[in-house]
């Protein structure tokens, strides 16, 4: 009876998108539920998956809001 | 000093509603706070309750987004 | 399909006990599941309840570990 | 590799504001990341911070929605 | 920069075991991290996975501690 | 009335220690509570802090259990 919580930033997986699509959400739900079926024999019907989309402003990394930190890392690599 | 987190799908409790109402939220807060008072003697003022409403797309069950899985279950029963 | 997470300090509800008992846990599970049945018509079988017991050292309140803060509050009241 | 989750009510820190500002969020991210650097030697780049803003209706305290409980406490003090 | 939290009961996946093994935990970590790589293009190094094992007493289902509820369901099916 | 959850691996901050000490936990509680006081004017007494120590086996990074991933990164840098 697992519960899987997936927290991701609210943004698109390609430049042309600005959010996670319903198809991507369905694929995440399917994927992680199957991991628990395959590894721990948990029936699909006993697994709940909750996806939480977090605004970029609300996600911190490197002591900074994510977008600022990404810019710094990108600049450091170039 | 308990913390109770209640995660529910963002939908109405009857077909005529499409979200949890303020009255229902207040009743959930009152109910679960009283459970902790009655069972563990935790004063009401020491309990925090956080209600998280989760979009149906973001809640998975049976390896599928909830609405799809509910349709399959409903069809299987009929 | 609610998920209810109950976080409480790992301690007894009376001076003679030093942990939450199995009976108290069962009463919490029953109580909060019934709140969701009564308020939102969620069937008991669709609700998961997870109880997390947190060591007193690991719970902060008033900027201090809980036991220290409780002593200060108790002293202030007497 | 810490994860810090900060849950606050969705409201302004002064009467003139009705939400947490981007500057305040950045200051929270910076502040808690530095606590983990200073206390546990965790590098800033290994800490994720997630801020969750919770609608006032969805936050319970004292067995009531927060705004109701605050009014009662304010009245009791005056 | 996803965070995936996997909550499972603390028990073995076969009658001969009484806990999740280190190999199974590694397989869960690998599996869910790859789901996020494949579906959302999230690099493996940006994903944190936290596995929380919950004692059976602390997990409620059907308004009961899990073991009691499982016995009732098993009896109903036989 | 913030709630701050701090998840860290269960290990020492120096080679001579194998867990987070009570003093370090108190410093984390004090530090993050003060951040919320300073940034959002939240009184110390309204903030709960919960520290969750996660076994190294139960924390995944880079698609691997943390210790394995750390060894790979350390080897790559040398």
Sequential pLDDT tens for chain F (78 residues): 899 999 999 998 888 888 899 999 999 999 999 999 999 999 999 999 999 999 999 999 999 999 999 999 999 987
Query: How far, in Å, CA of F16 to CA of D44, rounded?
Result: 23
Per-residue pLDDT for A18 more than 90?
no
Q: CB distance E51–F59 less than 8 Å?
A: yes
Chain F CB contacts of D16 below 8 Å: none
Query: How far, in Å, CA of F58 to CA of E51, rounded?
Result: 5
Q: Which residues pair with B5 in a beta bridge?
A: B50, C5
Per-residue pLDDT for A66 more than 80?
yes
Q: Are F and A neighbours with ≥3 CB pairs closer than 8 A?
A: no
Chain C CB contacts of A6 below 8 Å: none
Nearest CA-CA partner of C51 in E21, F4, E61, D60 = E61
CA distance A18 to chain E (A): 12
Q: If 0-12 CB within 10 Å is exposed, 13-18 middle and 19+ buried, where does residue D63 land?
A: buried
Chain B CB contacts of A45 below 8 Å: 61-62
Query: How far, in Å, CA of F51 to CA of F28, rounded?
Result: 9
Give me the mean pLDDT over the D52-58 stretch. Answer: 97
Query: How far, in Å, CA of A52 to CA of B53, rounded?
Result: 10
- Other CB atoms closer than 10 Å to residue C30's CB: what's the count? 19
What is the Cα gyration radius of chain E? 16
Nearest CA-CA partner of F14 in F27, F6, F5, F24 = F24
Query: How far, in Å, CA of C2 to CA of C48, rounded?
Result: 6
Catalytic residue among A2, A15, A43, A65: A2
**Chain F residue whose CA is closest to B5:** F3
Per-residue pLDDT for D18 more than 80?
yes
What is the Cα gyration radius of chain B? 16
Nearest CA-CA partner of C4 in C23, C41, C30, C38 = C30
**Which residue in the set E22, E44, E52 is minimally distant from F62, CB to CB?**
E44
pLDDT band at D15 (very low <50, low <70, confident <90, very high): confident
Per-residue pLDDT, A23:
97
The residue that leads in pLDDT, C33 or D76, is C33
Chains in touch with F (≥3 Cβ pairs < 8 A): B, C, D, E
Q: CB distance E47–F61 less than 8 Å?
A: yes
Whole-angstrom CA distances from A2 to B10, B58, E19, F53 are 21, 16, 14, 20
Sequential pLDDT tens for chain C (78 residues): 899 999 999 998 888 888 899 999 999 999 999 999 999 999 999 999 999 999 999 999 999 999 999 999 999 987
CA distance E55 to chain D (A): 23
**Which residue in the set B24, B31, B39 is minimally distant from C24, CB to CB?**
B39
Contacts of B42 (CB under 8 A, 6+ apart): B1, B2, B36, C8
Per-residue pLDDT for E78 more than 80?
no
Chain E CB contacts of A35 below 8 Å: 27-28, 31-32, 35
Nearest CA-CA partner of C24 in C36, C38, C14 = C14
Active site residue D2: yes
Are the C-beta atoms of E25 and F65 separated by less than 8 Å? yes
CA distance D72 to chain B (A): 12
Q: Tell me if ipTM is over 0.85.
A: yes
Query: How far, in Å, CA of F60 to CA of D77, rounded?
Result: 49
Count of domains observed in chain C: 1
Nearest CA-CA partner of E68 in C12, B35, C8, C27 = C27
Give me the mean pLDDT over the A33-57 stretch. Answer: 97
CA distance B68 to chain D (A): 27
pLDDT band at A4 (very low <50, low <70, confident <90, very high): very high
Chain A CB contacts of D30 below 8 Å: 60, 63-64
Per-residue pLDDT, A33:
98
pLDDT band at B75 (very low <50, low <70, confident <90, very high): very high
Q: CB distance E47–F64 less than 8 Å?
A: no
Nearest CA-CA partner of B25 in D59, F1, C33, A50 = D59
Per-residue pLDDT, F36:
98
> How does DSSP assign B9-77, residue by residue?
ESS-SSTT-SS--HHHHHHHHHHHHHHHHHHH---GGG-EEEEEEE-GGGEEETTEEHHHHHHHHHHHH
CA distance B72 to chain C (A): 16
Q: CB distance D26–A65 less than 8 Å?
A: yes
Chain E CB contacts of A40 below 8 Å: 8, 13, 20, 24, 28
Chains in touch with D (≥3 Cβ pairs < 8 A): A, B, E, F
pLDDT band at D78 (very low <50, low <70, confident <90, very high): confident
pLDDT in tens, E8-52: 999 988 888 888 999 999 999 999 999 999 999 999 999 999 999
Q: D29: domain CATH number?
A: 3.30.429.10
Residue range(s) defining the domain that contains residue F51: 3-77
């Amino acid at each position: 009876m697992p519960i899987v919580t997936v927290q991701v930033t609210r943004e698109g997986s390609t430049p042309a998108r600005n959010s996670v699509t319903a198809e991507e959400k369905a694929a995440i739900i399917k994927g992680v539920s199957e991991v628990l079926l395959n590894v721990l024999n948990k029936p699909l019907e006993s697994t709940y998956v909750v996806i939480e989309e977090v605004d970029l402003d609300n996600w911190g990394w490197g002591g900074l809001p994510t977008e600022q930190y990404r810019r710094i890392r990108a600049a450091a690599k170039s």
